[in-house]
Amino acid sequence: MHVFTSIKPMQEISLKLKAEGKTIGLVPTMGYLHEGHLSLAVRARQENDIVVMSNFVNPLQFGPKEDFATYPRDLDRDNKQAESVGVDYVFAPSGEEMYPEDYSTYVEVKGGATEKMCGRSRPGHFLGVTTVVLKLFLITQPNCAYFGQKDAQQAVVVRKMVEDLNLPMEIVTCPIVREKDGLALSSRNTYLSPEERAYALALPRALAAGRQLIQHGERNPGRVREEILRILESSPGIRVDYVEVVDGRTLDELPVLRGSVLLSAAVFVGKTRLIDNIDLEVAPCTAAC
């Protein structure tokens, strides 16, 4: 496995591989890898000739009071894990390499999916996401890029950018990887105390209750949202950021639940912000409902 910290050699090898007819799968990460990240690399390994993993904590997507300075970092650990699942190249640039002093170009997907959910509570977040992701695409030249379903809104926004800019590549969304007790894997889980870790289980539990309502025939998105919110607000140690029940493809509101549906929530457990979601295909309600 080769590790690049500079843009030019990473881009040169990527262009060379593409010229040779190789397919490239990119796994964008902010490091401090867990099994969720590694599952993306495994999928990319199965579907491409070459696997590139980026490891970059992107300052543009953090707000001024967020955890950029304390976000966990351990490049040596990450490189060993990446190599263990067959990653060919790691691209791990510095902030100065990606955004030199005279940097002034940003990429924005306006309106729609960027203004709700995480976009509403984290202004400017998706401007940072789309800017860095487009730079990573241009540097590594992927045929496919792999994102986790836990970051469902991010995947929707990036897919829209790829569509609007006619980028010749595919965005692949992979299932959430969870702990045995249901908590979605996240690098930020390391912030949680044992007590907070127990409180955090209310998040997957509430979303699962919303799914169960739908499976039992509920097709009113407001009622499903109310049930998820009720469980979260009655759970100790939880402060709700948002709960949404929306179209899983566009994140638009739904008058009636059918087709692709996303149950999504963000909460604070102590100072730690956690997100989770459940995506499902919902059949139209029959008389039996």
State pLDDT tens for residues 91-150.
Answer: 999 999 999 999 999 999 998 899 999 999 999 999 999 999 999 999 999 999 999 999
pLDDT one-digit tens code per residue, 13-67: 999 999 999 999 999 999 999 999 999 999 999 999 999 999 999 999 999 999 9
Give the pLDDT score at 289: 60
Q: Which of 2, 34, 37, 216 is catalytic?
A: 37
Q: Where are the domains of the chain?
A: 2-174, 187-280
Look at residue 81 and tell me whether its pLDDT is greater than 70.
Answer: yes
Q: Can 2-174 and 187-280 be said to share one CATH topology? A: no
- Sheet-wide strand order for 144-148: 2-4, 89-91, 50-55, 24-29, 144-148, 170-174
Matching CATH number, 2-174, of 3.40.50.300, 3.40.50.620, 3.40.1380.10, 3.40.50.1380:
3.40.50.620
Which superfamily does 187-280 belong to?
Answer: Pantoate-beta-alanine ligase, C-terminal domain (3.30.1300.10)
- Helix, strand, coil percentages for the chain (3-state, nearest 5): 40, 20, 35
Question: Is-catalytic flag, 37?
Answer: yes
Counting Cβ atoms within 10 Å, is residue 233 exposed (0-12), middle (13-18) or buried (19+)? middle
Give the pLDDT score at 288: 55
Give the pLDDT score at 193: 97
Q: Quick one: what percent of the chain has pLDDT higher than 90?
A: 97
